Amino acid sequence: MVFPSSSSSSLTLFSLALLICSSVFSSASTKIGNGYRLTSIEETPDGGFIGHLMVNKKSNTYGPDIPHLQIFIKHETDTRLRVHITDAENPRWEVPYNLLPREQPPLLKTSIGAKSRKISSWGVSEVSGTELIFSYRADPFGFAVKRRSNGDVLFNSSADGGDPFGDLVFKDQYLEISTKLPKEASIYGLGENTQPSGIKLQPNDPYTLYTTDVSAINLNTDLYGSHPVYMDLRNVGGVAYAHAVLLLNSNGMDVFYRGSSLTYKVIGGVFDFYFFSGPTPLSVVDQYTQFVGRPAPMPYWALGFHQCRWGYHNLSVVEDVVENYRKAQIPLDVMWTDDDHMDAKKDFTLSPVNFPLPNTTAFLAKLHSRGMKYIVLIDPGIAVNNSYGTYQRGMASDVFIKYDGEPYLAQVWPGAVYFPDFLNPKTVAWWKDEIARFRELVPVDGLWIDMNEPSNFCSGKCQIPKDRPCPDKGPRWICCLDCKNLTNTKWDDPPYKINASGQQVPLGFKTIATSAVHYNGILEYNAHSLYGFSQAIATQKALQELLQKRPFVLSRSTFVGSGHYAAHWTGDNQGTWENLRYSISTMLNFGIFGVPMVGADICGFYPQPTEELCNRWIEVGAFYPFSRDHANFASPRQELYVWDSVAKSARNALGMRYKLLPYLYTLNYEAHTTGAPVARPLFFTFTNFTKSYGLSTQFLLGDSVMVSPVLKPGKSEIKALFPPGTWYSLFDMTQGIVSKEGHYFTLDAPLNAVNVHVYQNTILPMQQGGMTSAEARLTPYNLVVTFPAGVAEAEAKGKLFLDEDELTEMKLGNGYSTYINFYASVSNNTAKIWSEVQEGKFALSKGWIVGKVTVLGLSGKGNALSINVDGEPVSDVSKVEFNASEQKHLEKLEGGDRRKSMLIEVGGLELPIGKNFAMTWKMGIMG
């Protein structure tokens, strides 16, 4: 949360940022250095190659060149290639190997032995792998990575005379490297930023990576996270190929994407590139998360709806919110409080006046008895207060970031604070102890770590004023410490200025001074963007050890690998139609980053949305992977029950979400095991459908459920793009759309309705819904089977993962999980649906059943039903009912007749989820 600046001031800031960015970009083509030459290369015992580079001619722009570099190349897997370039003589900062585990490159000054290859000028050679080939030019040095299967060049750093970029530059505080790109490539990633043009990166937009407390309303600006990875999607000869490139570097950087090239300008560290061969978007994310860490498994309740507000000033207000959701019959799983529960904004405390402990614990007991949960906020800044136990114990354990040997002083909500150093093992132990102490008083179910870029209301080196109180009676976000700017070190004032905050502000602006020091002498200059990541690791591990349950952590600041530990929300947005639209692109980007549990503040953080906008926002937000309404204290109340029309939309949209929880939870399992995003761009499923490559107004859940929302005011219909095939409305399964080649269709979209469609050849596991996920989970299942409309022969499939959802691990084989593959076919006028169960004991112990099967797209009615369970025929089918309805289809006529098809419901079933079943019936002729 930040001070709720007005929209007009935000636009002024944005306009200023655009002017600065234009100036920055115009100078991006200036060629800085003179390149390097490769002098030798040899194979290493582990199957890699190590080479040495010498600078060709020194330059002094941004400091002297490092004369001697070491390059290490290794095909780490069949689909992953690493290229690591560093100073050959002196160790340099890298992302700590204990934070992001990976192979260590060879030690520096590796001797060149008899097997080394002397390099002649302009020689070109290759290091081949299974999927990727590394090739290099010796002088001036440049390297390329190409795909073995089709020879497509994925990355090429060699500069030619006509290129707008130069050769490799490697200085202490300035590193530069570029790659050529085909103009037809679609590029995604390089975040976190709010992209007004949608998910696809646009040439000449600024892309700066440096974690910053700048609200999400600021466009094309470095925000809370740093993810220096991009996905490149190309259509080569009508076939789509995707790959990804990660530059594992935590230092601040500008990335200049020109359409035909991309240039990195980094202010420290090393070049540590990882190339992931794909070739599909899903396989790219699989390979990426295999390296950076699989997404954290989520407890089942986390997929329910969450309610929060900064400004629930006392416990009775929170209690009223919970009861009002019940009265309005709107599902709610998790109640949150911002810093309102705290005593004077101090972490791990309760206000004795507004949240008295006995009342709060009684409230939690009531929530828990209903199957609901409670989550509170924690900021990293620890109040400097000698009577505050957390501070006292932190000082005694020496856990804070230092400046000139003393804890670095900053200001956040409590006033003067020190920042814990989560790179220090002692800090991690202290943090766990503080969480344990708090949970002994207040048994919260998860933790929300905010302001962890980290945010500071002051800049520079500060002292607590002696002549006035701090904080005083003014706004807490106004700096009241006595501070002086720091520009006397090369860390506080580096030679190259990245476009920080979209304005080229100093690196230490409103955060920790970059010359401050972490554990083992690590500079904030290098570790800044890792702060939220390191805090998320410490918080997740502490909760898991303390709860002995699957933890839930929500973090604002993220880095490469954060999804392995935490969920994310997109930060401080506005209650505007534009921000509703932006939220989809940011959500989809985080799926690519390996952070699939993501969502935006529904209805906007500030100011208050209009009633119409809040209707439309819950119709989108109900299908965010992380679905939470959150608002600012300065805005009027906007809970979903405040407006009758919004309550109606919420009951409709969240009602569908809660029916889809089995599907969403299975997607959660897929994300944890393969990295697959829960919410995905359409091109993840329809990779050859080029019309979808820039589409940012619709999205998929999994590979087959498509959400097509209203994103503009005053609209009661929308134009939605439907990839080729048959799609069925989940809200009215008698309605379908047949899109032969892939078209836009105009759909009705009245105020309280959202268009959600399921694709053909799918078996979608659903339940009946409820007011909580725990309640919904007890209801019978409905399997929705979709065939292409009216087709005579087809197949469909689906899957379902079930487990004891608060176990720390999410996997098969522990005795507390079940996995089912569902199959269906239609052929020879016969429909068949069957299941194949793995480890059915857990599901059987819960008594879960399939109560209904709904089949869409059949060409005839059903009769002569037969069912067997575990190979034994079910003789009594007297309770089973067939119902048939003719379906209606929107269709682009392309020389064919309109399809005729049926919706067939087989109800009254009692098929145990944990046993293999099969059911078949003959189809009669449709009348």
Active site residues: 450, 453, 572
Q: Quick one: CA torsion of 527, 531, 532, 537, rounded to 10 degrees?
A: 90
User: 485-493 long-range contacts, Cβ below 8 Å, gap at least 24?
Assistant: 485/459, 485/460, 486/460, 486/461, 486/513, 486/515, 489/515, 490/173, 491/515, 491/523, 491/524, 491/525
DSSP conformation letters of 539-577? HHHHHHHHHSS---EEESS-BTTGGGT-EEE--S-BSSH
Q: What does the alpha-carbon distance between residue 186 and residue 684 come to, in Å, rounded to a whole number?
A: 13
For residue 779, what are its two tokens?
A: 């209801």
Spatial neighbors of 196 by CB under 8 A, at least 6 apart, are 219, 220, 578, 582
How many C-beta atoms lie closer than 10 Å to residue 387's C-beta?
Answer: 7
In DSSP terms, which residues pair with 65 in a beta bridge?
Answer: 171
Q: What does the alpha-carbon distance between residue 166 and residue 100 come to, in Å, rounded to a whole number?
A: 31
How many C-beta atoms lie closer than 10 Å to residue 650's C-beta?
Answer: 31
Q: Is 916 exposed, middle or buried (0-12, 13-18, 19+ CB in 10 A)?
A: middle
Spatial neighbors of 591 by CB under 8 A, at least 6 apart, are 285, 598, 677, 678, 679, 680
Q: What does the alpha-carbon distance between residue 886 and residue 554 come to, in Å, rounded to a whole number?
A: 46
Residue given tokens 């700048």 in the structure block: 214
Helix axes 644-659, 611-621, angle to 10 degrees: 0
Q: Are 350 and 315 in contact (CB under 8 A)?
A: no
CA atoms within 13 A on the CB side of 490: 10
DSSP reduced 3-state for 174: coil
For residue 737, what are its two tokens?
A: 């759309």
The answer to whether the Cα torsion of 697, 701, 704, 710 is positive or negative is negative
Q: Are 188 and 590 in contact (CB under 8 A)?
A: no
Q: Are 784 and 758 in contact (CB under 8 A)?
A: yes
* Of residues 148, 335, 158, 394, the one with CA closest to residue 261: 158
DSSP reduced 3-state for 383: strand
Residue given tokens 């093992």 in the structure block: 425
Spatial neighbors of 234 by CB under 8 A, at least 6 apart, are 152, 182, 184, 185, 186, 240, 241, 242
The residue count of the chain comes to: 927
* Of residues 164, 173, 157, the one with CA closest to residue 266: 173
In DSSP terms, which residues pair with 411 in a beta bridge?
Answer: 416
Residue given tokens 């420290």 in the structure block: 268
In DSSP terms, which residues pair with 869 in a beta bridge?
Answer: 872, 917
Q: What does the alpha-carbon distance between residue 696 and residue 586 come to, in Å, rounded to a whole number?
A: 10
For residue 32, what are its two tokens?
A: 């800085």
Q: What does the alpha-carbon distance between residue 809 and residue 811 come to, in Å, rounded to a whole number?
A: 6
How many C-beta atoms lie closer than 10 Å to residue 853's C-beta?
Answer: 23
Q: Are 679 and 673 in contact (CB under 8 A)?
A: no
